[in-house]
């Protein structure tokens, strides 16, 4: 397993690897964009990943605009010149509460805000803050299944739940489902896995792991084109397990320190000189012909 | 002298004599450390032990199910309330290492951690 930085990814792409991360921006997010029809003809599409919105969080020293950050991000996505094919929220939609009614209220408020996205299709996923205290009951009432799959323009997307079990396991039943789901897909098919926690042991000391994540990775290993997008760690992070690339997204509420760089995992305090620093969302452009994904990290302050 | 002892042990082993009794009696005695787990802290939050000496953690949960993970030594266990949960290991390196709850237990779960200080 190897940690890789943005430059390494560019080298990997140059060698015919499966992923290309660029700070220059996804075409659809900036200049030089092409029509949706033309991109479709070239085997390209793009989606937006938002993560760790923590609706309901209250902590002025960490984010004095806790009521506004999500709305700003929604406005930023809506202002994109070309709307994404879909938007995915990779968990921790709401901030933890032990009050079951308040949890439902927060999830409902979140759903209403997300409902103002222009994108026609939105995929929701749970984080441990949404689902660990009630095994995902409230989430399922409002958003549907915790794990599922869907196909989009030739890419098979698999949503894996590694949060509704408080012990952060995927579990035998879901692993069986995953293997059954994958059996319908060719070994060369482009696969994207969406999940909340890292599937590998990023930093177990901070609970940045999935206890049986290696079983998921083993199930994915026979497939040649696999990319994982996840959240949980509130920062951009890129990692390889064999040929499988894992990309963590930023939060829309507060950033967290790089793994193991400080004694305690705690939110990075708000920087008044650089509001919304460390927060953001990403656009992912799929280039199916070349089997790669171009990632553009977008700041929340652009809203 | 060393060669003589080894030869003796080999002979005893070949004879089916309990060699382990001889070897095990020479190992250092384990250190027992009691820990309490509750939302959202371990008490004490810092433990000091010696490198190479066996440790037994006796952890009691005072409220709900917690977890105990000490990844640097490959140690983890569920900490269920109503019983003493024992975890045995021998620290083989010195330094300061983080242990944490790895069973999501509520709003302060992410703060529930401590430090194992292993001295030479």
Chain B hits for A264, Cβ within 8 Å: 111, 113
- Quote the ipTM score: 0.84
In the predicted model, is pLDDT for residue A110 greater than 70? yes
Write B92-96 long-range contacts (CB < 8 A, 24+): B92/B51, B92/B52, B93/B51, B93/B118, B94/B51, B94/B118, B94/B119, B94/B120
Judged by CB atoms closer than 8 Å, whether chains meet at A166 and B78 is answered as no
Could you identify the residue written with the tokens 């026609």? A120
Question: Is residue B51 in a domain?
Answer: yes
Q: How many angstroms separate the CA atoms of A47 and A86, rounded?
A: 5
- CATH code of the domain covering residue A138: 3.60.21.10
In the predicted model, is pLDDT for residue B70 greater than 90? yes
pTM: 0.87
Touching check for A148 and chain B: CB below 8 Å? no
Residue of A nearest to B100 (CA): A205
For residue A44, the model assigns a pLDDT of 87
Chain B hits for A96, Cβ within 8 Å: 106-107, 109
Q: How many angstroms separate the CA atoms of A213 and A210, rounded?
A: 5
In the predicted model, is pLDDT for residue B46 greater than 50? yes
Q: How many angstroms separate the CA atoms of A234 and A245, rounded?
A: 18
Nearest CB to B107 within list A96, A166, A263: A96
Q: How many domains does chain B have?
A: 1
Q: How many domains does chain A have?
A: 1
Question: Is residue A39 in a domain?
Answer: no
Domain range enclosing B60: 29-119
Question: Is residue B15 in a domain?
Answer: no
Question: Is residue B86 in a domain?
Answer: yes
Question: Is residue A38 in a domain?
Answer: no
For residue A301, the model assigns a pLDDT of 67
For residue A19, the model assigns a pLDDT of 42
Domain range enclosing A233: 2-29+44-302
Q: How many angstroms separate the CA atoms of A233 and A265, rounded?
A: 10
Chain B hits for A128, Cβ within 8 Å: 104
Interface test with A, best of B61, B80, B104 (most A CBs within 10 A): B104
Q: How many angstroms separate the CA atoms of A213 and A209, rounded?
A: 7
What's the pLDDT band for B24 if we cut at 50, 70, 90?
very low
Question: Is residue A150 in a domain?
Answer: yes
In the predicted model, is pLDDT for residue A30 greater than 50? no
Judged by CB atoms closer than 8 Å, whether chains meet at A207 and B100 is answered as yes
Q: How many angstroms separate the CA atoms of B86 and B63, rounded?
A: 17
Judged by CB atoms closer than 8 Å, whether chains meet at B111 and A97 is answered as no
Question: Tokens at residue B53, please?
Answer: 């000496």
Question: Is residue B8 in a domain?
Answer: no
- CATH code of the domain covering residue B100: 2.60.40.420
Q: How many angstroms separate the CA atoms of A70 and A280, rounded?
A: 10
In the predicted model, is pLDDT for residue A262 greater than 70? yes
Chain A hits for B97, Cβ within 8 Å: 205
């Amino acid at each position: 397993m190897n940690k890789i930085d943005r430059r390494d990814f560019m080298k990997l792409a140059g060698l015919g690897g499966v992923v290309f991360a660029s700070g220059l921006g996804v075409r659809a997010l900036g200049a030089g964009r092409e029509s949706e029809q033309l991109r479709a003809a070239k085997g390209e599409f793009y989606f937006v990943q938002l993560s760790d919105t923590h609706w309901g969080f209250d902590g002025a020293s960490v984010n004095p605009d806790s009521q506004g950050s999500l709305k700003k991000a929604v406005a930023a996505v809506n202002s994109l010149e070309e709307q994404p094919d879909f938007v995915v929220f990779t968990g921790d939609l709401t901030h933890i509460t032990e009050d079951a009614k308040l949890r439902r209220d927060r999830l409902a408020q979140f759903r209403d805000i997300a409902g103002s996205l222009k994108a026609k299709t939105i995929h929701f996923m749970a984080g441990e803050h949404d689902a660990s205290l009630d095994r995902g009951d409230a989430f399922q009432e409002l958003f549907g299944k915790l794990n599922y799959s869907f196909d989009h323009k030739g890419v098979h997307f698999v949503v894996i739940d590694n949060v509704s079990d408080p012990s952060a396991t995927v579990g035998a039943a879901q692993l069986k489902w995953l293997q059954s789901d994958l059996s319908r897909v060719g070994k060369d098919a482009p696969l994207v896995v969406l999940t909340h926690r890292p599937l590998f042991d990023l930093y177990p000391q901070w609970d940045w792991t999935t206890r049986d994540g290696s079983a998921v990775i083993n199930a994915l290993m026979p497939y040649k084109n696999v990319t994982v997008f996840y959240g949980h760690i509130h920062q951009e992070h890129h990692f390889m397990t064999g040929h499988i690339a894992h990309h963590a997204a930023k939060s829309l509420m507060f950033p967290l320190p790089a793994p193991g760089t400080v004694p305690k995992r705690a939110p990075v305090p708000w920087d008044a000189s650089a509001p919304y620093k460390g927060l953001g969302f990403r656009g992912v452009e799929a280039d199916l012909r070349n089997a790669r994904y171009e990632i553009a990290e977008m700041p929340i302050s652009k809203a | 002298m060393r060669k003589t002892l080894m030869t003796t042990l080999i002979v005893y082993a070949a004879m089916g004599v309990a060699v382990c009794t001889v070897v095990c009696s020479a190992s250092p005695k384990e250190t027992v450390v009691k820990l309490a787990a509750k939302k959202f802290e371990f008490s004490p939050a810092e433990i000091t032990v010696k490198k190479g000496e066996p440790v037994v953690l006796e952890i009691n949960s005072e409220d709900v199910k917690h977890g105990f993970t000490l990844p640097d030594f490959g140690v983890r266990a569920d900490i269920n309330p109503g019983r003493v949960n024992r975890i045995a290991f021998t620290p083989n390196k010195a330094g300061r290492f983080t242990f944490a709850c790895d069973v999501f237990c509520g709003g302060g779960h992410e703060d529930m951690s401590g430090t194992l200080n292993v001295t030479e």
